[in-house]
Structure formats: C-alpha cells, structure tokens
C-alpha cells in the first residue's frame, strides 16, 4: 500500500518541480538554429545607393556584427549608443534595414551618426526570413569565414556586451589570427 501512495506522491513532486523550473524560463526566447551555419545568401540593394547591389560576401571578411534595424522600431534606438561605441572601438557593424522606407531610414541616419559599414536594404523582409529574423532589433556575430557564431534577439545591453559579445569577438579574432599564421607558416619554412 505504501508503494501505491509513493508513486502519485513522486509524480506530483516531479510535476511541481517542473513547473517551478518553468517559471524561471523565458518562454519567448528562441534559440537560433543558424548559429554555426554559414551566413545565408542574399542579394539586395545598398540603402545609400540603389545602384549598388550587396550580397552576403560584403558582410564577410572580418569578424563583424550584423544588426537588423528599422526606423519604426523604438527599441532599436535604445541600442544605438552601444552600437556607436562598438563601431568607434573598431568593430565593423553591417546592417539590414528591415521592412523600412528608404527615405525615412536615410533621414534617420543623417540625424544621428551611423555605426554601420554597409547597409543592405530589405523592404520586403525576404532576407529577414532567410536569416531567421522575427523581432527587431536582432544582432548576429559573424566570424571571419562568414559563419554565424552568435545571435541576439532583442536590443543589446552593456551587460550582454561585456559578458558574451565582446569576449566572443576577441576569441574569433584570435581564431582568425591563428588561421592566418598557420597558412603563412609553410612559406616561412621554405624561405
């Protein structure tokens, strides 16, 4: 008889424990399956110059951030100062201007400074879907080979930068340096 009662008791405790755990989770955070994948291809006009066509290759080359923003996104304004700091610190930041109007975006960039190296204009949100964007602002960290190594959904915060983003960028830069040294070695030996 004791066993018969023990089973429901264990089950109930397990359920309660699970629900307690669940309270601590944020049910809205979606981990991105693109982390570890190469940056998805796209072909878009440059925001500043409609004649110039940009592709994902324009975002690849060095360790960089890719920021998805729009003028109608109020939270994007909040993270702008942080992005400016990063840009001044020498970290290249590329961007998608997502589902926006070219004129409004250009005006916005004129009024405040622009932290962005290159901006791809994605009015239809097609590249957005390819990159798994669903809530602006979003920020990706690309390594030198163009593989997505990190994705942040929501605005960047100073804490996040200190804890996760900046250490990651350092690590990726070190990786790139090691890779360059390795490829340079054979030529050194022969000489």
What residue ranges bind other proteins (CB under 8 A)? 1, 5, 8-9, 12, 16, 18-25, 27-28, 30-34, 37, 40, 70, 72-76, 99, 124-126, 128-132, 134-137
**Residue 67 Cβ vs other proteins, minimum distance, rounded to whole Å:** 13
- Name the residue nearer to other proteins (CB basis): 131 or 169: 131
- DSSP for the chain, written as a single string: -HHHHHHHHHHHHHHHHHHHHHHHS-TT----TTTTSBPPP-EEEESS-TT-EEEGGGG-SSSEEEEEE-TT-HHHHHHHHHHHHHHHTT--EEEEEES--HHHHHHHHHHS----S-EEEETT-HHHHHTT--SSSEEEEE-TTSBEEEEEES---HHHIIIIIHHHHHHHHHHHHHHHHHHHHHHHHH-
Residue closer to other proteins by CB (options 19, 111) is: 19
Handedness of CA 38, 39, 44, 47 (dihedral sign): negative
Toward other proteins, which CB reaches closer, 1 or 182?
Answer: 1
Q: How near is the Cβ of 173 to other proteins at its closest, in Å?
A: 27
> Shortest approach of other proteins to residue 187 CB, angstroms?
39
Q: Which is nearer to other proteins, 22 or 89 (CB)?
A: 22
Shortest distance, CB of residue 125 to other proteins, whole angstroms?
4
Smallest gap from residue 44 Cβ to other proteins (A):
15
Q: Which is nearer to other proteins, 127 or 165 (CB)?
A: 127
């Amino acid at each position: 008889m004791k066993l018969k009662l023990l089973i429901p008791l264990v089950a109930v405790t397990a359920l309660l424990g699970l629900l307690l755990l669940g309270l601590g989770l944020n049910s809205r955070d979606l981990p991105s399956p693109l982390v570890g994948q190469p940056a998805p291809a796209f072909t878009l006009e440059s925001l500043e110059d409609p004649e110039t066509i940009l592709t994902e290759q324009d975002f690849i080359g060095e360790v960089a951030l890719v920021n998805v923003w729009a003028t109608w996104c109020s939270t994007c304004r909040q993270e702008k100062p942080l992005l400016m700091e990063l840009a001044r610190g020498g970290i290249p930041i590329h961007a998608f201007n997502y589902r926006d109007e070219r004129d409004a975006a250009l005006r916005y960039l004129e009024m405040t400074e622009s932290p962005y190296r290159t901006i791809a204009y994605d009015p239809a949100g097609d590249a957005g879907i390819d990159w798994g964007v669903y809530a602006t602002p979003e920020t990706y960290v690309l390594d030198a080979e163009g593989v997505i190594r990190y994705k942040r959904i929501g605005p960047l915060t100073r804490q996040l930068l200190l804890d996760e983003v900046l250490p990651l960028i350092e690590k990726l830069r070190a990786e790139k340096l090691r890779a360059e040294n390795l490829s340079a070695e054979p030529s050194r030996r022969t000489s």
